[in-house]
Every structure is written in C-alpha cells, then in structure tokens.
C-alpha cells in the first residue's frame, strides 16, 4: 500500500475541533475528507449541523456533506453504499482519505461491511413511528421483549435506532437482529485504516463551555432563519428533524418556546450526545488516543502524524 492510499479514521466528541484537525491532517497527508455524520448529509442545514464552510472546503475536498434534501429520509445503509463508492474511487486514484465524524456507526459503515438486514416496508415503519410518537416507552418495552440483546445495545432514546432495531427484530421473527450482529467495531474488513480518537481533558467544564459557545455561534450565524427556510421548502423528514436544533428551532418558529429556551435545550441535547460519543470512544478497539482540549488543530494533527508514523499499517 502506498502512502497516498492510507485511510485515517478520526473520531471525537462534538465541539472538540474534529473538523479543523481533519483539515490539517488532510493537507499533511494529501488526503480528501470523507465526513461520517448522519446529519451533515443534509443540504440547507449547514449551520445547524455544523458543516464545513466554504473556506474549509477550499482547503481540502470534502465528500458526503450537504447533498440530501432535508425533506428526504436517509439511512446508514444508504450512507454505507455511497461512502464505499467514494473510498473505492480514492483508492483507485491512490488518494488518501480522512474519514471524520462523531458517529461510531457511520464510521463503521464507511470502513467496514455491515449487515443491515431486511425491512418490512413503509407501512410497518409508519406504524412504528406512530407508536413512538404516542409513547416512546411502549416501543422501547416492546423491543426489550422481542429482542432483549438489541435493546441492551442500541440507544433507547434515539427514535431512528429503536425503530430500525424493531424492524430487524420483527423481520427476523425474534432472532438475532442487525443491532446484535453489528454491535461492535470490526476492523479492517474493507479498508486498511488507522483509528484515532480525540479525547477531552479530564476537566469536562472546558468541553461544556465549548458546547455552549457553539450553540450561541450557530444562533448568531442564522440557524433560526436556516431552519425556517428549510421548513418552508417542504415538510422535513423524520431523520432530518432529529438534528440537534431543528426540533427546538421549529418550536420557536411555531411560537411554543422562546429562543433562549430553545438554546438551552440545544445545549442540553448536545451534552447528552457528547456523553454517548465518549461511551462509544471507550468501545473503540486499538484507537490511538490524542488529547484535543486546549490545543491548536496544528498541534493535535502533528501528534497524530507522529502516532501514525510510529505504527505499521
């Protein structure tokens, strides 16, 4: 394998500066950036999903960002297919890749070959979505009864993950579901890569402050107006509506909450997301951990490059 064909998977919690670190790494390694994020796929929601801006895209070529209309549902299975096309193309051209994101599932989907199992059609999915809307705890309890192993693995607060696990469990007639088959990272199945995890300082107050500042920056940049424009173009899909900030800002537009209340909810949801990401981080096998708190992207990227040079691919 040539130097240019190497793949680096960069995982880290929201607000730790992954995007800027990935940019410096891409320049140092002559690589493209493949974004592994379930919400940054949506066009028209660049601010609220924290997509790389025009200046950042000018520094390195980005893939799988801002290409799905927010009125359309999008799944990890679709992402996996498109990520493999992108990475196969980069490999064919001898071009390196930085696969960057805060979603362990999407990183796995890009780098490996996951089984997604059968689905039961749109009618069943609509029924499950209605059950969730009526009472999420009822659907969670049903999943625990039908497939307790899946219920022990998936994020039971995430509507999309619970519904996908229920679909798989029902399709398997109570057998082992996709959530169980795919529960842990399986390295090296498709692309040879090195996994690097950005970690926060022991003092989480700095990360909390960065989260608060990020939300305030989004609002100052026009996140409310962005969500209003996206909604005006048509009803938002169930998956796009799960992006942190979309539901909260829709409530502001509907007049049911104040903007400061929405901001507080966005901060709270982001902190909850970070806790889940840090839990994921502890499950990642053989990940090189690099401290990111209080350091420049250049310093973090330099340490990552040193780490990569010291390990065989």
pLDDT per position as a tens digit, 58-84: 999 999 999 999 999 888 889 999 999
Contact in structure between 263 and 215 (CB atoms under 8 Å): yes
Q: Are strands 7-12 and 96-101 parallel, antiparallel or unpaired?
A: parallel
Q: What is the side-by-side order of every strand in the sheet holding 31-35?
A: 62-63, 31-35, 96-101, 7-12, 193-199, 288-291
pTM of full prediction above 0.85: no
Q: What DSSP character marks residue 183?
A: -
Q: Is the pLDDT of residue 32 over 80?
A: yes
pLDDT tens profile 176-228 = 344 434 443 554 468 888 999 999 877 678 889 999 999 999 999 999 999 99
Domains and CATH numbers, the chain: 3-112+191-309 (3.40.50.300), 122-181 (1.10.20)
| Residue where the block lists tokens 């890009």 | 110
Query: Is residue 108 within 8 Å of residue 273, measured between CB atoms?
Result: no
User: Could you give the C-alpha distances from 210 to 17, 82, 205, 237, 299, in angstroms and in order?
Assistant: 10, 32, 9, 29, 18
Under 8 Å CB-to-CB from 221, ≥6 apart: which residues? 47
Percent of the chain predicted with pLDDT > 70: 88
**b/e per residue, 117-135, with b = 16+ CB within 10 A?**
bebeeeeebeebbebbeee
Inter-residue contact 32 to 10 (CB < 8 Å): no
């Amino acid at each position: 394998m040539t130097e240019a064909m190497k793949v680096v998977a960069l995982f880290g919690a929201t607000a730790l500066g992954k995007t800027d670190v990935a940019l410096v790494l891409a320049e140092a390694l002559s690589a493209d950036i493949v974004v592994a994020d379930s919400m940054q796929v949506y066009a028209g929601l660049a601010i609220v999903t924290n997509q790389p801006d025009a200046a950042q895209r000018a520094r390195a070529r980005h893939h799988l960002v801002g290409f799905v209309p927010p009125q359309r549902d999008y799944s990890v299975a679709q992402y996996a297919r498109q990520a493999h096309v992108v990475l196969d193309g980069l490999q064919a051209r001898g071009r390196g890749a930085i696969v960057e994101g805060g979603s362990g599932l999407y990183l796995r989907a890009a780098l490996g070959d996951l089984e997604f199992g059968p689905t039961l059609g749109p009618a069943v999915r609509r029924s499950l979505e209605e059950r969730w809307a009526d009472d999420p705890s009822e659907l969670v309890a049903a999943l625990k009864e039908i497939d307790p192993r899946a219920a022990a693995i998936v994020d039971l607060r995430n509507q999309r993950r619970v519904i996908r696990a229920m679909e798989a469990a029902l399709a398997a007639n109570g057998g082992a579901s996709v959530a169980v088959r795919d529960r842990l990272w399986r390295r090296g199945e498709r692309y040879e890569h090195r996994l690097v995890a950005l970690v926060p300082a022991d003092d989480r107050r700095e990360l909390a402050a960065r989260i608060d500042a990020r939300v305030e920056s989004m609002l100052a940049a026009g996140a409310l107006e962005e969500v209003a424009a996206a909604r005006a173009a048509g009803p938002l899909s169930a998956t796009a509506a799960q992006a942190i900030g979309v539901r909260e800002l829709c409530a502001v537009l509907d007049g049911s909450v104040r903007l400061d209340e929405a901001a507080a909810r966005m901060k709270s949801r982001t902190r909850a997301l970070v806790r889940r990401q840090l839990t994921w981080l502890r499950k990642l096998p053989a990940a090189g951990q690099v401290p990111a708190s209080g350091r420049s992207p250049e310093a973090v990227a330099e340490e990552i490059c040193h780490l990569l040079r010291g390990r065989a691919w």
